[in-house]
Amino acid sequence: MSTNWEQINEYAQQWIKEAGDRIQETFEKELTVQTKSNRKDLVTNVDKETEQFFIERIKETFPTHRVLGEEGFGDDVSALDGIVWIIDPIDGTMNFIHQQRNFAISIGIFQNGIGMLGYIYDVVHDELYYAQKGKGAFLNDQPLPRLQPVSIREAIISLNATWVTENMRIDPKVLAPLVKEARGTRSYGSAALEMAYVAAGRLDAYITMRLSPWDFAGGLIIVEEVGGIVTNLYGEPLHLLGQNSVFVSKPGLHEEILTQYIRK
């Protein structure tokens, strides 16, 4: 039996909007904030409740689908056969806690490891970025145009300041010249939104040294549908079941940054 992607898409969009409404309702209430791996790695009751909300609905409607969720309420996914939803219930938890904005729900739906549907929902701005493989990407149902080339000198690059200071993952001297040469740099604190902004042409590239699959699963599908390139920092494809450095960019600019700054 062939998979009814239109139906899956309809449910996914409906649940994402509903989850967004529920998140907004919590703004009035007190949050329970806990730390995970370190003092900066935060999680709230809303992250957990939102992930559970999706899992309950997915399991009820599509019992054969599996879920890989950041907060661990889904399945133990060690291979990507069949249909797998990769979910980040709140991407940008620190922003959610401190700012009540600049966070998103991010979902990628994969079939045998191929990205079929991608969603990034900026709850506060009611902006749903969405893509279906081969059918283009949309922002609130408006088609997003294919990405056009841009030079480094005219590019806005999203990059956390961590990666140009002393850190464990990259020599700060690698990216500092790029920061100087670019027109500007930004950092929004939500990998999903930063990928959505590249897809929408609001940013030209996004570089970060370590993300988990749920941070980039939705964005990967959306960015690729508008002709953007998503790799690790060395230009290799991302592993969907582990951590990666992530380099998202307009075509052309991707090659230019790789050859002139990273592989130099």
Q: Is 49 annotated as a binding residue?
A: no
**One of 51, 70, 122, 225 touching Ca ion (CB under 5 A):** 70
Would you count residue 51 as binding Ca ion (CB under 5 A)? no
**One of 51, 122, 215, 224 touching Ca ion (CB under 5 A):** 215
Q: How many Å apart are CA 108 and CA 3, to the nearest integer?
A: 16
Name the residues that contact ligand IPD, by CB under 6 A: 70, 88, 91-93, 189-191, 208, 211, 215
Please state the closest distance from residue 71 (CB atom) to Ca ion, in A. 7
- Give the other-Cβ count within 10 Å of 93's Cβ: 22
Q: What are phi and psi of 185, to 5 degrees?
A: -125, 155
Please state the closest distance from residue 10 (CB atom) to ligand IPD, in A. 26
Q: Which residues are designated catalytic?
A: 70, 88, 90-91, 93, 215
Task: Identify which range of 66-74, 78-86, 125-133, 144-152 contacts Ca ion by CB under 5 A.
Answer: 66-74
Is residue 194 within 8 A of residue 188, CB to CB? The reply is: yes
> Which residues ranging from 90 to 119 are in contact with Ca ion (CB under 5 A)?
90-91
Please state the closest distance from residue 89 (CB atom) to ligand IPD, in A. 8
Is residue 117 within 8 A of residue 109, CB to CB? The reply is: yes
Q: Is 88 annotated as a binding residue?
A: yes
Is residue 248 within 8 A of residue 226, CB to CB? The reply is: no
E-assigned strands of 170-260?
184-186, 205-211, 229-231, 244-249
Please state the closest distance from residue 145 (CB atom) to ligand IPD, in A. 25
CA distances from 159 to 121, 137, 138, 205, 209 (A): 21, 24, 24, 9, 10
- Positions at the binding site for Mg(2+): 70, 88, 90-91, 215
- Positions at the binding site: 70, 88, 90-91, 215
